[in-house]
Amino acid sequence: MTFDDLGLSADLLRTVSEQGYSQPTPIQTKAIPLVLDGRDIMAAAQTGTGKTAGFTLPLLQLLSVQRPPNARRPVRALVLTPTRELAAQVGESVEIYGKYLPLRSTIIFGGVGIRPQIDALRKGVDILVATPGRLLDHVSQKTLDLSQVEILVLDEADRMLDMGFIHDIRKVLALLPKKRQNLLFSATFSDDIKRLADGLLNAPILVEAARANTAAESVSQVVHQVDKNRKRELLSFLIGSRNWQQVLVFTRTKHGANRLAQQLEQDGIRASAIHGNKSQSARTRALADFKKGAVRVLVATDIAARGLDIDQLPHVVNYELPNVPEDYVHRIGRTGRAGCEGEAVSLVCVDEIKLLRDIERLLKKEVDKVVIEGFEHDPSIAAEPIINGRQNRGGGASRAGEQGRNGAKSNAGRSRTGGRPGAPRKEGAGRPAVSRQNKPRVRQAQSGSTGN
């Protein structure tokens, strides 16, 4: 199957070839003809599958062939995304793919001034890419009219629900004409998503790129079990010893992201954090620095990382496992994109074993466990609960029969059992319990905030 077979116009084929895409991805092969046919679709596609072009290309084509008589240029296609970053990226794709077409688009999201958005809307746009909150701000200020929308796209619908946008989505739906084409994209399909789809889609066709809730095949996954208070050390060791140059690292909390980025900097590894408490310009700058290689590690929370499109990202590290198993699929979808190989490494402490099991249940397979020599976990440490994404810090896990480690400096990568430091070993290779001398200093528990 080639792009020529999908029914796209010459102008669009030209941009596709300029982008260097030689073949459509599976989601594009399936979605493009259906969208061109005017059908509603419910697409199970995670980031990295080429889903954006899967809806943008046919959407552009439909709008360009059916020019409305109205010279006012009402918004004819609305793409809703959960995050600013995703809105920016989808908006950029619309611009790129549509560059030979006489269509106008704009992006609106919060965290930046509303005035330029009002000006852009006033001039008239055919395609609007927006996050729900700012979209509704415009509606309430009467700077936006959605009564002429012909095509609605909900991108990463599952994340929008996770972020609590359901009420905003329903408000937006009430502003749209009843007769329209609907395209819903989601990496995962919970009952909530199915309910939303039921009320939204008209005789939809289910399109699956990869089975929902499955990780992309091109991503190799591995778990290193390690004590909580040695995760940072192990991360620095992996980055250094394996010479990883571009690593996206996930934490559960904003506070944890900040702290880890600072600690990595102290280890001499250029790092920055990206999360919802940062201004839009700080987020954009961090991402740009990461993309161009000025920053080696980007530490992100789940919500901030949604929609990050970083081409050929080779390494994703789950510094902490997500509370929601589906987020694991999203996270590792950042690597192994568009046909490239990727590696997803999870650092799992005893508190997270249950989270790991939930993830494996979702994936319907076990993730390989590999012990890094010198970082063996201490089996005598008992699990502690994770509350709202927060854990007692610094290995605060209570240790059966022993209280209060202190004093000794960390010794990254040095084997405590005499083996070659950092050598990977498959779990269960019959290793004796690790000596507990020379444990790193215990840090005080710190408060962290959850989410974004």
- Of 2, 435, 39, the closest CA to residue 206 belongs to 39
Which residues on adjacent β-strands are paired with residue 105?
Answer: 127
The answer to whether 337 contacts ligand AMP (rule: CB under 6 A) is yes
The answer to whether 21 contacts ligand AMP (rule: CB under 6 A) is yes
Cβ 49 to ligand AMP, closest distance in Å? Answer: 5
The answer to whether 338 contacts ligand AMP (rule: CB under 6 A) is yes
| 425-444 positions binding ligand AMP, by CB under 6 A | none
* SS3 (DSSP) at 297: strand
Cβ 244 to ligand AMP, closest distance in Å? Answer: 20
What is the pattern of x (binds ligand AMP, CB under 6 A) and - over residues 28-67?
A: x------------------xxxxxxx--------------
> In the complex with ligand AMP, which residue's Cβ is closer, 291 or 431?
291
State the DSSP string of 39-78. --EEEE--TTSSHHHHHHHHHHHHHHHS--S-TT----EE
- Determine the Cα–Cα distance for residues 67 and 282; give it in Å rounded to an integer: 39
- Of 131, 84, 28, the closest CA to residue 308 belongs to 84
Question: What token pair was written down for 413?
Answer: 């990568």
The answer to whether 188 contacts ligand AMP (rule: CB under 6 A) is no
Cβ 152 to ligand AMP, closest distance in Å? Answer: 18
Question: What token pair was written down for 75?
Answer: 């918004």
- Of 330, 248, 240, 253, the closest CA to residue 289 belongs to 248
How distant, in Å, are the alpha carbons of 159, 172, 181, 189, 193 from that of 196?
Answer: 13, 13, 15, 10, 5
**Residue showing tokens 């997500």:** 322
Cβ 171 to ligand AMP, closest distance in Å? Answer: 27
The answer to whether 236 contacts ligand AMP (rule: CB under 6 A) is no
**Radius of gyration in angstroms for the set of CA atoms belonging to the chain, rounded to a whole number:** 24
Cβ 89 to ligand AMP, closest distance in Å? Answer: 7
> In the complex with ligand AMP, which residue's Cβ is closer, 31 or 151?
31
- Determine the Cα–Cα distance for residues 62 and 151; give it in Å rounded to an integer: 9
- Of 377, 370, 373, the closest CA to residue 426 belongs to 370
Cβ 132 to ligand AMP, closest distance in Å? Answer: 20
> In the complex with ligand AMP, which residue's Cβ is closer, 21 or 100?
21
Q: CB–CB of 201/183 below 8 Å?
A: no
Question: What token pair was written down for 172?
Answer: 């937006």
The answer to whether 100 contacts ligand AMP (rule: CB under 6 A) is no
Residues in contact with ligand AMP, counted by CB under 6 A, come to a total of 16
> In the complex with ligand AMP, which residue's Cβ is closer, 138 or 337?
337
Contact residue for ligand AMP among 25, 188, 253, 272 (CB under 6 A): 25
CB atoms within 10 A of CB 291: 16
The answer to whether 24 contacts ligand AMP (rule: CB under 6 A) is yes
Question: Which secondary structure element, helix H or strand E, spans residue 134, and what is its range?
Answer: helix 132-140
> In the complex with ligand AMP, which residue's Cβ is closer, 269 or 313?
313
| 189-228 positions binding ligand AMP, by CB under 6 A | none
**Residue showing tokens 């490494």:** 345
Cβ 310 to ligand AMP, closest distance in Å? Answer: 8
Cβ 313 to ligand AMP, closest distance in Å? Answer: 10
> In the complex with ligand AMP, which residue's Cβ is closer, 325 or 336?
336
Cβ 13 to ligand AMP, closest distance in Å? Answer: 12
Cβ 218 to ligand AMP, closest distance in Å? Answer: 12
**Residue showing tokens 């091109």:** 218
| 265-324 positions binding ligand AMP, by CB under 6 A | 309, 311
> In the complex with ligand AMP, which residue's Cβ is closer, 126 or 309?
309
> In the complex with ligand AMP, which residue's Cβ is closer, 217 or 311?
311
> In the complex with ligand AMP, which residue's Cβ is closer, 47 or 346?
47
What count of residues does the chain have?
Answer: 452
> In the complex with ligand AMP, which residue's Cβ is closer, 48 or 325?
48
The answer to whether 81 contacts ligand AMP (rule: CB under 6 A) is no
> In the complex with ligand AMP, which residue's Cβ is closer, 47 or 106?
47
* SS3 (DSSP) at 223: strand
Q: CB–CB of 93/56 below 8 Å?
A: yes
- Determine the Cα–Cα distance for residues 360 and 350; give it in Å rounded to an integer: 16
Which residues on adjacent β-strands are paired with residue 78?
Answer: 128, 152
Tell me which stretch binds ligand AMP (CB under 6 A): 16-24, 200-208, 217-225, 442-450: 16-24
Report the interface residues with ligand AMP, using CB under 6 A.
21, 23-25, 28, 47-53, 309, 311, 337-338
